[in-house]
Chains A and B, each alone.
Chain A
């Protein structure tokens, strides 16, 4: 398996500016095949711009990118043959019904047989639960129905890559759940690259995450890695009893990078940052318990909620600036 087989999307120092506004700054992105890749960032971070550059709807001002090994600038049509795209606000031909819009989309990819194209459209309408409204005018559709129809249209060509721009942001909780369920159903066959600022959704369905802030990619990797926070793996211990010299002894361990301690109701709460997770898992507690005067009332690996990790990373980057 070569590089382009492993990564569906690869960008290198991809930049885009509009006049003086730098929308993307040297973005190096790798989206693994068959991942549900959540692309996070605050509003205005450049998520939609990056998607448009990838789709050939906007041109990069510097850097390069490939999708399926094809250049995003010179081979855009070949790329779009294998992609399904849902814009943030899906648009349709208003004088056509849902089925007709879907059929129009399918005809960009397939020339026949006509009966099978229609069957494919019916299958997609069924997938998103719109079969009973297929022959209704688009004008009467709710936001959630439009979003689901947009997903059906993005999926009608059975794409190798789905690019979804804020697929659930404008929906109520029921609509959001429906969209996330559809995404979960599609994950078996397709790589899904989607942007969002709803962190709960990402934690629910994504396996890989990238965070974009002010046009810059500030974190990227498996969701577990992001949830570890930018400080890496931290173990939390609540200790009672005599513990003189514990900090110094912990600092001597080669895989302990940092310790902090705080007092809480007669208990000292220790946070131990480690560089070797396996070693810490095996030996840290054992090492502390060597001292019989120490009682351990709590011992756990610190886990972050995505929101916490996200804020940590984004705020940290802003402070660096």
Chain B
């Protein structure tokens, strides 16, 4: 019948039928509403502001530092930079994970509960396209506004404090680790949204991992090698160029990436089986 309307039928790759329209819809939820600038402002002010206080404000930690510590950092300015990086990466990695969980906990479960998912899936849309459109459309602004923008501001602050451009490679490596950590919690939260029907278990498991991971890893240190629970420290040590176990660094980063991929596949498999 639609041929009678003189309209061109959508001609998408069948396994991802509906992806582009769903991607536009999800994108619009970020860039067509005030969500983008609220998040841009919030995380930049929070992480950039805290780092700026550490770099330029009266800093007890710097004042109380021993000479050995200052020498290890290459001087007082170097030590101040370490403290600033410590706040940005150690605190920032965890706080961004919490922010990501809060922002994404509702993405699948919200539409499942309010009936929008049922309505969308009654259109010529594959379930694979539905999940992947959500992942792609939300991962980009989360990485750009929660990780990228504050990192760029912090990099500027570090360079200002140092009086020269801060070494880019270790900083970018650390930001990459921060991004991997953020994506881990993003994919974990989405996957939990395909498994559970209420927000409680989603928030409990994801936030429990962020807040309790270090504690569990303290009891069973081997877990640090296969989880993201040590990544905050790994990111900080990478940014400051401090020596650390290459096995721990490589293994924890690789495990985080692998887990994220696994979560994507589990999300797709679980969502395929959901009924409405």
Binds A, one of B10-18, B36-44, B62-70, B241-249: B10-18
**Which residues from chain A contact B114 at a C-beta distance below 8 Å?**
91
Measured CB to CB, the closest approach of chain B to A164, in angstroms, equals: 12
Query: Beta-carbon contacts of B6-49 to A below 8 Å, as 1s and 0s?
Result: 11111100100110010011001100110000000000000000
Interface: B207 (CB within 8 A): no
Residues of B within 8 A of A110 (CB): 2, 5, 7-10
Chain A residues whose CB sits within 8 angstroms of the CB of B126 once the complex forms: 77
Q: How far is the CA of A95 from the CA of B28 in the complex (A)?
A: 10
Q: How large is the interface on A (under 10, 10 to 19, 20 to 34, 35 or more residues)?
A: 35 or more
> Chain B contacts of A158 at CB under 8 A?
1-2, 4-5
Contact A57 B124 (CB under 8 A): no
Considering the chains assembled together, what is the distance between the CA atoms of A52 and B18 in angstroms?
19
Shortest B210–chain A CB gap in Å is: 29
Q: List 19 A-B contacts (CB under 8 A).
A: A52-B118, A52-B276, A57-B118, A57-B276, A77-B124, A82-B1, A89-B115, A95-B29, A95-B32, A95-B33, A104-B21, A108-B10, A109-B10, A111-B8, A112-B7, A113-B7, A117-B7, A158-B4, A158-B5
Assuming the A-B contacts A58-B275, A93-B25, A93-B116, are A120 and B125 also in contact, with contact meaning beta carbons closer than 8 angstroms in the complex? no
**Nearest chain B CB to A103's CB is how many angstroms away?**
10
- In the bound complex, residues from chain A placing their C-beta under 8 Å from that of B116 are 91-93
In the complex, the chain B residue whose C-beta lies closest to that of A84 is B122
Give the distance in Å from the alpha carbon of A225 to the alpha carbon of B29 in the complex: 51
With a cutoff of 8 Å between Cβ atoms, the chain B residues found around residue A160 in the complex are 1
- Contact digits for B90-130, partner A, Cβ 8 Å, 1 yes 0 no: 00000000000000000000000011101101111110000
Interface SS of chain A: helix, strand, loop or mixed?
loop
Query: Would you call A213 an interface residue if the criterion is a C-beta within 8 Å of the partner chain's C-beta atoms?
Result: no
In angstroms, how far is the closest chain A Cβ from the Cβ of B271? Answer: 13
Set of chain B residues within 8 Å of A52, measured between Cβ atoms: 118, 275-276
In contact, A189 and B33 (Cβ under 8 angstroms):
no
B10: A residues at CB distance < 8 A: 107-111
In the docked arrangement, what's the CA distance between A96 and B119, Å? 15
Chain A residues near B4 (CB, 8 Å)?
158
Residues from chain A with Cβ under 8 Å of B119 in the complex:
85, 87, 90-92
Q: How does the 8 Å CB contact mask read for B151-180 relative to A, with 1 for contact and 0 for none? A: 000000000000000000000000000000
B21 touches A107 (CB 8 A): yes
Tell me the nearest residue of chain B to A160, going by C-beta: B1
* Pair A116/B123 contact, Cβ less than 8 Å: no
User: Interface residues, chain B, CB within 8 Å of chain A?
Assistant: 1-2, 4-11, 14, 17-18, 21, 24-25, 28-29, 32-33, 114-116, 118-119, 121-126, 275-276
Q: Is the CB of A116 within 8 A of B2?
A: no
Beyond A77-B14, A91-B114, A160-B1: 14 further Cβ-contacts under 8 Å? A57-B275, A78-B124, A80-B125, A82-B1, A83-B122, A85-B122, A87-B118, A91-B115, A109-B2, A109-B124, A110-B7, A111-B11, A158-B2, A189-B1
Residues of B near A117 (CB, < 8 A) are 7
A107 touches B24 (CB 8 A): yes
A214 at the interface (CB under 8 A from B): no
Q: Which residues of B contact A92 (CB under 8 A)?
A: 116, 119
Q: Judge if A280 is at the interface, Cβ distance under 8 Å.
A: no
CB-CB under 8 A for A116 and B275, given A80-B124, A91-B114, A104-B25: no
A58: B residues at CB distance < 8 A: 275-276
Asked if A55 is at the interface (CB within 8 A of a chain B CB), the reply is: yes
Name A56-101 residues within 8 Å CB distance of B: 56-59, 77-78, 80-83, 85, 87, 89-93, 95-96
Chain B nearest CB from A120 CB (Å) reads 6
Complex CA gap A89/B114 in Å reads 10
Residues of A within 8 A of B6 (CB): 116
Chain A proximity of B19: nearest CB distance (Å): 11
A:104-126 near B, CB below 8 Å: 104-105, 107-113, 116-117, 120
Which partner residue on chain B sits nearest A88 by CB separation?
B115
Indicate whether A271 reaches chain B with its CB closer than 8 angstroms. no
Q: Does A157 contact B (CB under 8 A)?
A: yes
Report the minimal beta-carbon distance from B170 to chain A, rounded to whole angstroms. 41
Query: Is A190 interfacial (CB 8 A cutoff)?
Result: yes
Q: Which residue of A lies closest to B1 (CB)?
A: A158
Q: How far is the CB of A281 from chain B (nearest CB, A)?
A: 41
| Contact present for B125 and A108 (CB under 8 Å) | yes
Going nearest first, the 7 A-B pairs with the smallest beta carbon separation are A91-B115, A57-B276, A108-B123, A85-B122, A110-B7, A58-B275, A81-B124
Give Cα distance in the complex from A56 to B275, angstroms.
Answer: 9
Known contacts A87-B119, A91-B115, A108 near B1 by CB under 8 Å? no
> Bound state CA distance, A302 and B7, in angstroms?
51
- For residue A248, give the distance in angstroms from its CB to the closest CB of chain B: 59
The distance in angstroms between the C-alpha atoms of A171 and B4, with both chains bound, is 32
B24 CB, min distance to chain A CBs, angstroms: 7
Given contacts A52-B276, A57-B275, contact A105 B7 (CB under 8 A): no
Instruction: Output the least CB separation between B54 and chain A (Å).
Output: 38
